Amino acid sequence: MTTATTTRRHRRASGAVRKLPSGRWQARYTAPDGALRPLGTFPTKAEADQALAHEVSRMARGVWRDPRLGDQPLGEWFRGWIATRGDLAPSTRALYGRLLDRWIDAEVPVTHGSRVRTVRLGFRTLASLTPADVREWDAAVLAEASRRAAERWQRAAAHPRRVNAAIRQWAAAEGRPVAVTGRIPIELREAWLDATGGVMADPRATLRSVGHTEAAQAYRLLHTGMAQAVSDRLIPANPCAIKGASQRDARHRAERRVVGPEDLWALADAMPERYRAAVVIAFLSGLRAGEQFALQRKHVDLATGTVRVEQSLGRPGAGSGRYASTKSRAGRRTVTLPRVAVDALAEHLARFTPESRDAVVFGTATGRPLTSGSRTVMFARARAAIGREDLTWHDLRHSAMTLVALTGATLPELMQRAGHSTPRAALQYQHAGDNAQVRIATRLDAMAPRLTP
């Protein structure tokens, strides 16, 4: 007599239950595509029936998810998602690519006591990522970003130009006379060494805050991408749930340096003559650097004292072509300048800008747009010359908007002038109107005695 090795099947429209040779019972459900998919094995038929009934109930109630969804590698999915985001500005797309390559789809070291290992989210599937995984990764990114940033600063700080700038800054704070350029007297150098031990305080940030910006950017990208995966029904919930992680750099942005009138004119005078007015316009217009250096003569109306922002200077690697679109729709705007800025701009146009409508306002001597690298070098020399090594070009924009706020501008007016656009702002802010821009410029003119050199 032969022993039967066939399994016992109990087929129904919603699925099937069968007894396996091992004695366990397997439940399979009928998927929306008609295929039978395994649900698992159970000790008894009753338990298999119960599991199948639960799965069928989930389908009937519309809460069932295909367990195969979300099985794509996270790094691969993120690259495809970024590639299909047609709303991204070239610079934003480039930033997302860097963050993905550097932090999300990269091996980030994780330290546990004396043990060091690496975590790479890009190798994980979307559905496998848990809040605990994200917390571990976020802590690792913050630590590694801070370490790399501090290391970069220490290398740069050893440069003789940085050392000389630190000595001049210390001398100015101590009330010691020192020339803004030229050789530093040996006795002053020795006094600085005696007082500080040659240790320079980080002019950009404390060690606590260094790297926070990049870590927050990486977390925001991961959170946004996973939110899209939830919206696409690839995963049931967003595993990025760290309170405050997206805004951990907000406090440091709030502490950004404000340029005062004295430093403004000192900076302007320390710049090459061709770009002196560029510093003044940046301080009084609040334009982004890319917007300002993409201005052409046709965008300037001296009669009304306005500039039209219609484009931005493209960044290397952020897109093809000399010019790119503005950062957002709100970036396309008309900004009314105060009289002191109009006068500086008029003088600059007369001396340095060709008559052609397409001529670049703050271009090079050959008429080409000034690259960000060249601007950075010139500005670094100017800030070192006045002992303000801590300043960046973006601090001019920040100072401009701070000054506008001091005029009593409303939040919608401030948002319009700055060209800011976020989902939250789109809901609660309305168009401020052209008259508001004129009022802002008038208020700035009222401050002119304190702004004029």
- Read off the amino acid at residue 73: P
Are 244 and 262 in the same domain? no
Q: CATH number for the domain including 23?
A: 3.30.730.10
| Residue 204 in domain | yes
pLDDT value for 350: 96
| Residue 333 in domain | yes
Query: In this structure, what are the phi and psi dihedrals at residue 117, rounded to the nearest 5 degrees?
Result: -135, 180
- Which of 253, 246, 210, 211 is CA-nearest to residue 225? 246
Are 145 and 78 in the same domain? yes
Are 149 and 171 in the same domain? yes
Query: In this structure, what are the phi and psi dihedrals at residue 9, rounded to the nearest 5 degrees?
Result: -110, 140
Are 94 and 231 in the same domain? yes
Alpha carbons 35 and 42: distance in angstroms, whole number: 21
| Residue 66 in domain | no
Are 336 and 383 in the same domain? yes
Last residue of a domain, one of 206, 232, 253: 253
Task: Give the pLDDT of the chain (453 residues) as one tens digit per residue.
Answer: 444 444 555 556 688 899 999 999 998 988 877 888 888 899 999 999 998 998 888 888 877 777 677 788 999 999 999 999 988 878 788 899 999 999 999 999 988 777 888 999 999 999 899 999 999 999 999 999 888 877 777 776 666 777 787 787 778 777 788 777 778 888 888 887 777 766 665 544 444 555 788 899 999 999 999 999 999 888 889 999 998 887 776 555 545 677 888 889 999 999 999 999 999 999 999 899 999 999 999 999 999 999 999 988 865 544 434 777 666 666 689 999 999 999 999 999 999 999 999 999 999 999 999 988 889 889 988 988 888 877 889 889 888 888 887 777 777 788 888 887 664 432 332 334 455 667 677 777 776 655 666
Alpha carbons 338 and 403: distance in angstroms, whole number: 12
Alpha-carbon torsion, ordered 210, 211, 217, 222, to 10 deg: -140
Are 262 and 377 in the same domain? yes
| Residue 351 in domain | yes
Sign of the Cα torsion 400, 402, 403, 404 reads positive
Number of H helices, E strands in the chain: 18, 11
Are 260 and 225 in the same domain? no
First to last CA, the chain: 111
Structural domain that includes position 325: 256-451
| Residue 3 in domain | no
Q: Which residue has the tokens 């590639």?
A: 83
- Residue 321: left if φ>0, alpha if ψ -120 to 50, beta else—which one? left
Distances (CA, A) of 416 to 295, 336, 412, 433: 18, 11, 6, 9
Are 325 and 245 in the same domain? no
- Total domains, the chain: 3
Last residue of a domain, one of 61, 83, 104: 61
Are 423 and 341 in the same domain? yes
Are 230 and 102 in the same domain? yes
Q: Within 10 A of 171 (CB to CB), how many other CB atoms are there?
A: 20
| Residue 2 in domain | no
Alpha carbons 165 and 180: distance in angstroms, whole number: 9
| Residue 361 in domain | yes
Are 236 and 337 in the same domain? no
Alpha carbons 135 and 245: distance in angstroms, whole number: 10
Where helices occur in 28-159 by DSSP H, the ranges are 45-61, 74-83, 90-99, 131-157
Last residue of a domain, one of 253, 279, 295: 253
pLDDT value for 269: 93
| Residue 68 in domain | no
Are 53 and 134 in the same domain? no
Q: CATH number for the domain including 444?
A: 1.10.443.10
* Angle, helices 276-285/261-270, rounded to nearest 10 degrees: 150
Bridge partner list, 333: 309
- Which of 401, 283, 254 is CA-nearest to residue 344? 283
Q: Within 10 A of 444 (CB to CB), how many other CB atoms are there?
A: 24
